[in-house]
Structure 1
Amino acid sequence: MTEIESLKHKLIQQLGCIYKDVELTQSYDELADVLVDIMRITQGGFTPRPYSNHWSEKDVVVITYGDSIIAADQKPLATLSDFMDTHLECINAVHILPFFPFSSDDGFAVIDYSSVNDGLGDWSDITAIASKRRLMSDLVINHCSSRSAWFQNFIKGEGIGHDYFFTANVDDDLSQVVRPRTSALLRPTHTSKGWQHVWCTFSHDQVDFDFRNPQVLIEFTRIIRQYLDAGVNIFRLDAVAFLWKIAGTKSINLPQTHEVIRLLRTLIEHAQQDAVVITETNIPNTQNLTYFGNANEAHCIYNFSLPPLLINTLITGSCLYLKRWQMSMPPAQDGTTYFNFIASHDGVGLRPVEGILEQDEIDSLVETMVLFGGKISSRTSEDGHKKPYEMNIALIDALQGTTKGKDQFGLARFTCAHAIMLGLEGIPGIYIHSLLGTENDYEKLANTSHNRSINRHRWDAEQLNGLLADDNSTHAKVLAALTKLITIRTNQAAFNPNATQFTLHLGLQLFGFWRQSRDRRQSIFCISNISDQPIDLPLAELNLIGTETWFDLIDGEVIHDITATQLLEPYQTVWISNVP
């Protein structure tokens, strides 16, 4: 069997799993041929090696909108590129949030997947950025804008897109459907065929695709090929858990959804050797882990439990729940890894800590975030009640104090959070507003009335550069502290995303873990005081090997007595390594 024949055989099997309950006008063989042709996979091309890691300790991702920084007389994407070249040389990858024409949700209601929003720039700006850094792009695969040409054709009943959207009957059993919003699930829409009720997982401007129609899969395959050609290296499958819907079920995490992801990975990894698929599935932790498959589904999954757990740890001064969770997390096998983050363009989700944090712990966390100026977004739970879904707050504001209130340790606590995240197994992603120490944007919140706007500030480049040039500004201090940690991290083999990790037991005020490089030459003990009081770290409990010389990578000092007790100031982190 030739390589192409083997690939088509695999695709046929995957298509059979996806469409087994759907009547098709094309055979699986014909569909497989179409998909391979679109992706331009030819005989003699690249054959992926199973369990390959397309990442290393050098990989750190900055998460940003294309217009998070703007300047007069310059396209925002060009401004972003200049800013990264000037201030973020230590970061080798960028996730530019949806840069396409859109109608709502700050880009996630896409009008046209094939175009760059002309308010940001054009494809040449995208490819220019991709020539200097790994580029992550969103594949907004669950839904598109109601203003898209496809949906307008759905209304007219003709043309491309007229059969791309999922509809249901008002008398269908939809009682079990899991959703992240409180709006009505079905949108009544008057079409050439009469009134139809369009499924809308998120908002009524975000109309859900019907993947039972293989033309939708074909369309997204074309989109993927275009993005690869433009230099996109990492695909973030947005809200993909909701992709397949069946009335009478929860319509989340269905087997067909998992198989679609496996098929897309098959196509992508045969088309480009180092391309990566990341699933964005803001769901309970045990469900999220299933998207690894058997190293044949997502290369990376978002570590959604980390943000609320880490924030909770730092405002309570106890790492009990964080440590329990970390000990329960399976090491990612080769070919997969975690995508770690503690802040993003969205809020801090609470569903990922269901079953991890006690309800009173969640209630206290929510109350503290409100105390620090945050907003709380809700969803409709399975029993029909509104339930807190996410906390909307800038990370630097979220960490300005503890459950006791605000204090003087905000910057140290904020830096500690990133030191912990940067040391963990996985690839770190850092929101640009965390790098810049951006605070809650109440003006934007008032203008949009959308809670998520509180953490989506838009900086004037001249003003921002002025603040960063002032060593006494909080913004300059934050950027200096985080870029220092990133620079150290990216030079340590023991911080490889798949390097060994073990949790240390040092009490509830010291959160620690041990990393070991894959060649076993380097060990790093990552230990943080997560409390607002000085804590003694008994070095003897680490069992440091006496024949090695040990260093704290962060302060650059040699540890002369490995049996001594070291005092850790509130929120201080040490990275103790046998390799300087």
Structure 2
Amino acid sequence: MHREQLHEKVCHHLQTIYADVSLSMPVGQLAETLMDTIGLHRDDDITPPAPHSNQWNEEDVVMITYGDSVVREAEHPLKTLDHFLHTYCRNTINKVHILPFFPYSSDDGFSVIDYSSVNESLGDWDDIESLSKDYGLMFDLVINHCSARSGWFDNFIKNDGPGSDFFYTASPSDDLSMVTRPRVSPLLRETQCEDGVKYVWCTFSHDQVDFDFRNPKVLIAFVEIIRLYIDKGAKLFRLDAVAFLWKVIGTNCINLPQTHEMIRLLRTLIEHVDPGIIIITETNIPNRENLTYFGNANEAHAIYNFSLPPLLVNTLVTGDCTYLKNWMMSMPPAQNGTTYFNFIASHDGIGLRPAEGLLSDEEISTLVHSMQRFGGKVSWRSSDHGQQKPYEINITLFEACQGTNKGPDKFQVDRFICAHAIMLGMEGIPGLYIHSLVGTGNDYEKVANTGQNRSINRKRWDFDELAALLDSPYSQHHKVLTRLSQLIRIRKAQRAFHPNATQYTLQLGEAVFGYWRQSLDRKQSVFCVSNISDTEQAVLLSDINLIGTDHWIDLISRAPIDNLSNFLQLKPYQTVWISNQDWE
């Protein structure tokens, strides 16, 4: 009986998505095809997933990495990555986001040539499946576009075979003035095909050609890909650039209702195959729009907290947490079955669109200037009025923390650790970029070699060179990894740091940022308090509102907090996690 109900639900999704499209097959037939393709066959016992179920807890920490961020001669980089994880991330990392590891032609993997195979330069499916035995793996589903060198696009040009009708085209005479663009390249790519010139839609670059999901064959192809990835060990799916998926001429072509319904459809299919799989939407857009991807706990399980990186970096370089605090108070608690994915560094830069409406243009300009002073680059986009606006800052987080708006200073490591301490205690699942974990600096050589600003934060480490630095107690890399590993291990032991535990923002002035977390069973409280300035700060313990009958301890330093009428002295960029000791 449940299969009939599931079929009805899938049909409802499809009717909503394709309401304005003439389909080549009945909706019921398409629903059956999708269910069979994902592996929900007629004779299967299909159990609906429990609603509002959290498939995560405080022990979940994700490392974000390329398949070849660490390499060693005569070894598949994916095997080297496995060795790195076992050597340096034991008892800290339990989930790994391996950025696109498929054959590609540009954008460091996000211009996929073949979705069904592993890039030979990285390894093979056996290497992926080996990693999946020890870590929950996040796979990228690069769903908006593929490489112009893919077999599908070759068939599009030839007008023959699979892919011949997979791509979105428009006319230069169409009104495209409202289309939201993340890049400055022309939107349409003139392409000579067997049946004439066509103008192919390219949201990101002319090597990244956009799919036309009005054609249900594209949807079927991606459901086949999803099934393959599940079979190969995927436990998290990152839907890359999904906000741009559906296009309607005359609109802004971003966040359209059909896009949201498509995500709901994919969730319905995936969670009936494995209710433990998590869907994360990568939507680098203003904060209020980003929040819509939770749906009503029926869309993304998790959304990237894109506003956190620019707001946190701005906080640390200005010594003023006002904007971060105001934003945090405005963020709705994620209901059970949904959560935030927190990160402060990634393979991309520090996105500035999610700061729009939170920071003024002048404040963004000051932030950009400071990051350029620290060796950062800037990527630009065209605004709705054709103006050039900064789209993201390209810099490693370690270098972004080298000083304040006044210039570089001696607090780089402490400021960097403070940033992570704030992120690790927050509501949500934390994600740490491998280059933050090991304190990597700006890679200017790679920028020069590729001509791409984003390469500044995509260094490829020789494993033996990195290992020597990580094993040396005097290197910045050793200090960073040691201190971050300590924070992660502490985090994983606290029930108050469950991604859905209660969070309340504290009011401790401009220079001190704080929030309170309480475990779901209400037995443990942790007060997370950080000095985000370059001068010592004194906080009256009574202002934090610690309960006098409890015993309190700083989980990081292990120092007891005794006299609650005293002041708490915080060194520049020091964080304390004050917990009641009877939480166990």
SS of the residue 1:544 aligns to: coil
For the Cα contact (< 8 Å) 1:46–1:273, is it kept in 2?
no
Partner residue of 2:556 out of 549, 554, 560: 554
1:16 is aligned to 15
2:62 is aligned to 61
The superposition leaves residues 426-478 of structure 1 with CA deviations (integer Å, 9 ceiling, x where unpaired) of 00000000001000000000000100000000000010000111001000000
Letter in 1 for 2:397: L
SS of the residue 1:58 aligns to: coil
Kindly state the Cα deviation for residue 183 of structure 1 after the two structures are TM-superposed: 0.3
For the Cα contact (< 8 Å) 2:321–2:511, is it kept in 1?
yes
Q: Does 2:194 correspond to 1:195?
A: no
| Structural mapping, 1:165-176, within 5 Å | 165-176=167-178
1:112 is aligned to 114
Kindly state the Cα deviation for residue 333 of structure 1 after the two structures are TM-superposed: 0.5
> Which shows bigger deviation, 339-348 or 542-551?
542-551
Runs (4+) of structure 1 exceeding 2 A deviation are none
Determine what percentage of the aligned residue pairs are the same residue: 62
Query: For residues 423 and 237 of structure 1, what CA distance do their matches in structure 2 show?
Result: 25
2:477 is aligned to 475
1:3 is aligned to 2
Kindly state the Cα deviation for residue 28 of structure 1 after the two structures are TM-superposed: 0.8
Query: For residues 384 and 198 of structure 1, what CA distance do their matches in structure 2 show?
Result: 21
Query: For residues 266 and 260 of structure 1, what CA distance do their matches in structure 2 show?
Result: 10
1:303 is aligned to 305
Letter in 2 for 1:88: C
Q: Does 2:291 correspond to 1:289?
A: yes
1:428 is aligned to 430
Kindly state the Cα deviation for residue 25 of structure 1 after the two structures are TM-superposed: 1.4
The superposition leaves residues 257-286 of structure 1 with CA deviations (integer Å, 9 ceiling, x where unpaired) of 000000000011001120000000000000
SS of the residue 1:574 aligns to: strand
Aligned residues: 579
1:76 is aligned to 77
2:348 is aligned to 346
The superposition leaves residues 304-338 of structure 1 with CA deviations (integer Å, 9 ceiling, x where unpaired) of 00000000000000001000000000000011000
Kindly state the Cα deviation for residue 46 of structure 1 after the two structures are TM-superposed: 3.3
Kindly state the Cα deviation for residue 215 of structure 1 after the two structures are TM-superposed: 0.4
Gaps of 5+ in 1: none
For the Cα contact (< 8 Å) 1:285–1:304, is it kept in 2?
yes
> Which shows bigger deviation, 356-365 or 142-151?
356-365
Query: For residues 111 and 358 of structure 1, what CA distance do their matches in structure 2 show?
Result: 40
SS of the residue 1:190 aligns to: strand
Letter in 1 for 2:546: L
Q: Does 2:188 correspond to 1:186?
A: yes
Letter in 2 for 1:557: A
SS of the residue 2:177 aligns to: coil
Query: For residues 193 and 383 of structure 1, what CA distance do their matches in structure 2 show?
Result: 35
Kindly state the Cα deviation for residue 524 of structure 1 after the two structures are TM-superposed: 0.2
1:486 is aligned to 488
1:45 is aligned to 46
For the Cα contact (< 8 Å) 2:2–2:47, is it kept in 1?
no
1:100 is aligned to 102
Kindly state the Cα deviation for residue 560 of structure 1 after the two structures are TM-superposed: 1.8
For the Cα contact (< 8 Å) 1:418–1:482, is it kept in 2?
yes
2:446 is aligned to 444
Partner residue of 1:564 out of 554, 563, 566: 566
> Which shows bigger deviation, 355-364 or 293-302?
355-364
Query: For residues 285 and 328 of structure 2, what CA distance do their matches in structure 1 show?
Result: 17
| Structural mapping, 1:58-457, within 5 Å | 58-89=59-90, 90-457=92-459
Query: For residues 240 and 88 of structure 1, what CA distance do their matches in structure 2 show?
Result: 31
The superposition leaves residues 190-220 of structure 1 with CA deviations (integer Å, 9 ceiling, x where unpaired) of 0011000000000000000000000000000
For the Cα contact (< 8 Å) 1:180–1:380, is it kept in 2?
yes
SS of the residue 2:581 aligns to: coil
> Which shows bigger deviation, 20-29 or 43-52?
43-52
Query: For residues 499 and 77 of structure 1, what CA distance do their matches in structure 2 show?
Result: 35
1:513 is aligned to 515
Kindly state the Cα deviation for residue 579 of structure 1 after the two structures are TM-superposed: 3.0
Q: TM-score with structure 2 length normalisation?
A: 0.99
Kindly state the Cα deviation for residue 543 of structure 1 after the two structures are TM-superposed: 2.0
Kindly state the Cα deviation for residue 540 of structure 1 after the two structures are TM-superposed: 1.2
Query: For residues 541 and 398 of structure 1, what CA distance do their matches in structure 2 show?
Result: 31
Kindly state the Cα deviation for residue 4 of structure 1 after the two structures are TM-superposed: 0.6
Kindly state the Cα deviation for residue 559 of structure 1 after the two structures are TM-superposed: 1.3
Kindly state the Cα deviation for residue 45 of structure 1 after the two structures are TM-superposed: 2.9
Letter in 2 for 1:501: Q
1:28 is aligned to 27
SS of the residue 2:63 aligns to: strand
For the Cα contact (< 8 Å) 1:61–1:93, is it kept in 2?
yes
Query: For residues 558 and 384 of structure 1, what CA distance do their matches in structure 2 show?
Result: 57
Query: For residues 577 and 566 of structure 1, what CA distance do their matches in structure 2 show?
Result: 14
Query: For residues 225 and 279 of structure 1, what CA distance do their matches in structure 2 show?
Result: 18
Letter in 2 for 1:71: R
SS of the residue 2:503 aligns to: strand
Letter in 2 for 1:8: H
Letter in 1 for 2:377: K
Kindly state the Cα deviation for residue 563 of structure 1 after the two structures are TM-superposed: 1.8
Gaps of 5+ in 2: none
Query: For residues 375 and 256 of structure 1, what CA distance do their matches in structure 2 show?
Result: 36
Kindly state the Cα deviation for residue 60 of structure 1 after the two structures are TM-superposed: 0.4
Letter in 1 for 2:5: S
SS of the residue 1:168 aligns to: coil
Q: TM-score with structure 1 length normalisation?
A: 0.99
SS of the residue 1:197 aligns to: strand
Query: For residues 40 and 418 of structure 1, what CA distance do their matches in structure 2 show?
Result: 40
Query: For residues 2 and 565 of structure 2, what CA distance do their matches in structure 1 show?
Result: 58
Query: For residues 297 and 567 of structure 2, what CA distance do their matches in structure 1 show?
Result: 43
Kindly state the Cα deviation for residue 547 of structure 1 after the two structures are TM-superposed: 1.6
SS of the residue 1:220 aligns to: helix
Kindly state the Cα deviation for residue 553 of structure 1 after the two structures are TM-superposed: 0.3
Query: For residues 153 and 38 of structure 2, what CA distance do their matches in structure 1 show?
Result: 25
SS of the residue 2:414 aligns to: helix
Kindly state the Cα deviation for residue 238 of structure 1 after the two structures are TM-superposed: 0.2
